[in-house]
Amino acid sequence: MTRTALLVIDMQNSFLHPQGENTYAAAREVVAPVRVLIDAAAAAGTLIVHTADRHRPGFEDFEQKRLPVHCVSGSFDAAYFEGFGPAGRDNELEIIKRRHSAFFATELALFLNEQRIERLVLCGVKTNVCVRATAQDAFSTGFEVVVARQATNSNRPHLGSASLEDIDRYLGRVVDLDVALEMLS
């Protein structure tokens, strides 16, 4: 049996709350599917990893050369969107990241390897940025990559679609929600 973990990417106010600094209308379409995945993983005792994009207040950050200041630690935008983030379950972990990929300069690969995780089911926002970068690094680190199609999207649908095509062709599999649910239970 393949040991699987759910990787929930950046379900934060910045992207999902109507007043979020990086919000887009379609982002909220992933809320219900991501909750379904989390509930299934929790019920099965499957490891759930929540990532949060957070940057230090008052310090320059390399990302700011390409993006405006965002998700500053302690701010409303950096907080998890209502109902997301670690809920105190035994099978949860939080990874704070400062780049698009949840693997870059974090302990994620080390932790997952220690837990003998082989497969990652990815969900969250945004498909063409943080989900894609995380999928790339997960593949490069030796994990089987699975993206739940209905549980991710982008403010640039054409880039989201292209990213899913690339992930499915080169990095792993893009599956429907019901298939992802089976993998988590």
Is 71 in the active site? no
Is residue 84 within 8 Å of 50, Cβ to Cβ? yes
Strands 144-153 and 119-125: parallel
The one catalytic residue among 130, 147, 151, 184: 130
Among 160, 153, 124, 147, smallest CA distance to 34 is for: 124
Residues 135 and 51: beta-carbon distance below 8 Å? no
DSSP codes of every residue in 3-50: -EEEEEE--BHHHHSTT-TT--GGGGGGHHHHHHHHHHHHHHT-EEEE
Q: H or E segment at 172?
A: strand 172-175
Burial class (CB in 10 A: 0-12, 13-18, 19+), 82: exposed
Q: Which residues are marked as active site?
A: 130
